[in-house]
Amino acid sequence: LSGRTWHWRPYDAETVRHLCQRFALGEVTARLLAARGITLADTDDFLAPKLKRWLPEPLSLRDMAAGVARLVRAVTTTERVAVLADYDVDGATGAALLTRFLASVGLPTRLYIPDRLTEGYGPGVGAIERLHGEGITLVITVDCGVNAFAALERAASLGLDVIVVDHHQPPPRLPPAIAQINPNRADDDSGLGHLAAVGVAFLLVVATNRALREAGWYRPPRGEPDLRRWLDLVALGTLCDMVPLIGLNRAFVRQGLAVASLGGNPGLARLAERLKLGGAMTAYRFAFLIGPRINAGGRVGQADLGARLLITDDDAEAAALAARLDDLNRERQRLERQTLAAALGGVLAVGREAGLIWAEGDDWHPGVIGIVAARLVDHFLKPAVVVTRRNGLATASARSVAGFDLGAAVKAAANAALLLKGGGHAMAAGFSCESTKLPELRAFLEGIAAAATPVAARRLEIDGPLSLAAVSPQLAETIDGCAPFGNGNPEPRFVFRSVTVDSLASVAPSLTRCHLVDLNGERRQAVLFASEHHPLTQPLRALGQRHCHVAARLRHRGANHAVELLIDDVATDADG
């Protein structure tokens, strides 16, 4: 009913049979593994990813050796060091990891998180001059810096050393730095391009720790820190940055979630408490409940709150910061709802024939337009641009679907002199321009979108049919064995055939609850997250007692581990 087509994830029946026999797996699990390309030889590493097995030699990253040598010198001579990071979760966790590690080896550091609204993204010339003025002699940038020509050239001219720890796509020529540690450098052959910045930062920590040990830094009474206790930070940043959950990332997340469940980080513990998250930490909780609160400060409040929450060891401060971030997140949600409603209203008023969704308004909060663009993509399954206008200036955030290279389109617009500045990658981009240029710019981008054929957003991948009777806490636990899910390891989705939808109730603005009932009278709780305007909401209500097929994922609910179904799409026989 949403306009998407359903596709079975293909798998090899022979592999499924072997997996069942060799590993005593249930048929459903074996099917999931086979559909994800996991072979017999990989199965152990997949089901129980060990850090020891996946952790590479950190020095295999280009420039790692130079960065480690410089950092060791800073530690052993107690230099004044600053950690500068983006406010988002990857940046905040990377900054917290480096800050905690350096503090544990005796080096206090200065935290600097630029305000995206006033300073822009990454290190600016102003930040570099300020840190230099404070007597800082070494800056480590995390999750930013690879493109910061002006700032890094200024630092070089001031004699301020910089180590860049990043994973963003680098330009052909790199700005000057003591070390540019980035697995996505063209000349880096570590094969670690899937890491988030916090993952790269962890490798810097591993290598620096080893170098300090070899330099005799840990002679008593000074002890060596246990790096594993900070894997909670690595897992959080990795999950929230939406990098593929494969190889080392999988090991980081699995081990990090186990560490997080012990509650050793006061900030994370207080935040989980505030959200009433009892029990073990899960990938879902990190990605969708904790993560948005960590970066809420950067979106609508004060940029460094998230990083400070992750750094503090003071329980009272942790509780205060957790409360503040939770409040800011509520404010962000309110702004997001308001902006989404206004944007949807505008889009629906003009119809939806174009190959690109365009929404613009005055004084929409720049901190939420990216999220609103992502919601519009979910809704219309087309690339979306959300523009906020203020004082003759327009700022935009855009999200795409597979098959349409948004970054390239924005670059083309910049080359056509339509933008003041702009950049991004295939799936997400941002730009600013003069408001008077908007009509021309819109026509320009719609022209490019019309020529493209975005297809993937219209596909819904399905792992297979399942009966309602099979939906149980035991099955959910089995599926959790294949977690964490995300990019590169899609969460299992099943089809429940010939069911009716019963006791439908709208319980919140974007939340509908119901029961699915099959021909045998088996019932299960289900939930649909979709606003009133979502293409599924009205048709679902109009179904009545007619049979339909439901595509859904399993979700634990509450502390009692009941299982409910998260509805992704519904088809009737009329859909063919």
Binding residues for Mn ion, rule: CB under 5 A, are 90, 143, 197, 241
Residue with Cβ nearer Mn ion (247 or 454): 247
Residue 193 C-beta: closest distance to Mn ion, Å:
12
E strand or H helix at 501? strand 494-508
State in angstroms the smallest separation of the CB of 88 from Mn ion: 7
Q: Which residues contact 252 (CB under 8 A, 6 or more apart)?
A: 51, 199, 202, 231, 234, 235, 238
Nearer Cβ to Mn ion, position 70 or 167?
167
Do residues 361 and 343 lie in contact, with contact meaning Cβ atoms separated by under 8 Å? yes
d(CA 275, CA 290): 9
Please, what is the minimum distance in Å from the beta carbon of residue 236 to Mn ion?
A: 12
199/454 with CB nearer Mn ion: 199
User: Closest approach of Cβ 71 to Mn ion, in Å?
Assistant: 20
- Tell the smallest beta-carbon distance from residue 241 to Mn ion (Å): 4
- Which is nearer to Mn ion, 94 or 225 (by Cβ)? 94
Which residue is it, tokens 């048709």?
A: 539
* Least Cβ distance, residue 249 to Mn ion (angstroms): 12
The CA-based diameter of the chain, rounded to the nearest angstrom, is 76
Check: CB of residue 500 under 8 Å from CB of residue 548. Answer: yes
Query: For Mn ion, which is the closer residue by CB, 90 or 491?
Result: 90
Residue type, 101: F
Q: Is 166 helix (H, G, I), strand (E, B) or coil?
A: coil
Q: What is the DSSP letter of 290?
A: I
- Please report how close the Cβ of residue 294 comes to Mn ion at its closest, in angstroms: 13
**Nearest distance from C-beta of residue 199 to Mn ion, angstroms:** 9
In the numeric block, which tokens belong to residue 279? 């029990």
Shortest Å, Cβ 374 to Mn ion? 16
Q: Which one, of 217, 187, 181, 186, lies nearest residue 199 by Cα? A: 181
Three-state SS at 246: coil
Q: Shortest Cβ distance from residue 86 to Mn ion (Å)?
A: 7
CB of 440 to Mn ion, least distance (A): 33
Helices (DSSP H) in 109-195: which residue ranges?
Answer: 116-119, 125-133, 149-158
Please count the helices (runs of H) and the strands (runs of E) in the chain. Answer: 23, 18
* Residue among 91 and 225 whose Cβ is closer to Mn ion: 91
Kindly tell me which of 241 and 336 has the beta carbon lying closer to Mn ion: 241
The DSSP call for residue 489 is B
The bridge status of strand 494-508 relative to strand 459-462 is unpaired
Q: What is the distance between the alpha carbons of residues 174 and 26, in angstroms, rounded to a whole number? A: 50
Q: Please, where are the H alpha helices in 262-392?
A: 266-274, 283-285, 291-294, 296-300, 305-311, 315-350, 369-380
**Torsion sign (Cα): 330, 335, 336, 340:** positive
**Residue 63 or 241 having the CB closest to Mn ion:** 241
Closer of 240 and 269 to Mn ion (Cβ): 240
- From the CB of 247, what's the least distance to Mn ion, in Å? 17
Residues 6+ apart with CB under 8 A from 419: 410, 413, 431, 432, 433, 437, 441
Cα 63 to the center of its chain, rounded Å:
26
Q: Which residue, 116 or 547, has its beta carbon nearer to Mn ion?
A: 116
Helices (H), ranges, 159-265: 197-214, 231-240, 247-261
CB 403 to Mn ion: min, Å: 24
Q: Which is nearer to Mn ion, 90 or 564 (CB)?
A: 90
List b or e across 52-61, with b for residues whose CB sees 16 or more CB atoms inside 10 angstroms.
Answer: eebebebbeb
Cα→Cα distances 229→97, 135, 217, Å: 10, 31, 20
Residue nearest to Mn ion (CB): 90
- 556 in Cβ contact with 481 (< 8 Å): no
| Helices assigned H by DSSP within 7-136 | 13-23, 27-35, 43-47, 51-54, 64-76, 89-104, 116-119, 125-133
To the nearest whole angstrom, how small is the minimum distance from the Cβ of residue 232 to Mn ion? 17
Q: Which is nearer to Mn ion, 238 or 400 (CB)?
A: 238
Nearer to Mn ion, 95 or 231 (CB): 95
d(C-alpha 336, C-alpha 359), whole Å: 14
Q: Quick one: 143 or 232, whose CB is closer to Mn ion?
A: 143
Convert 252-283 to b/e letters by CB count within 10 Å (16 or more is b). bbbbbbebbeeeebbbbbbbbeeeebeeebbb
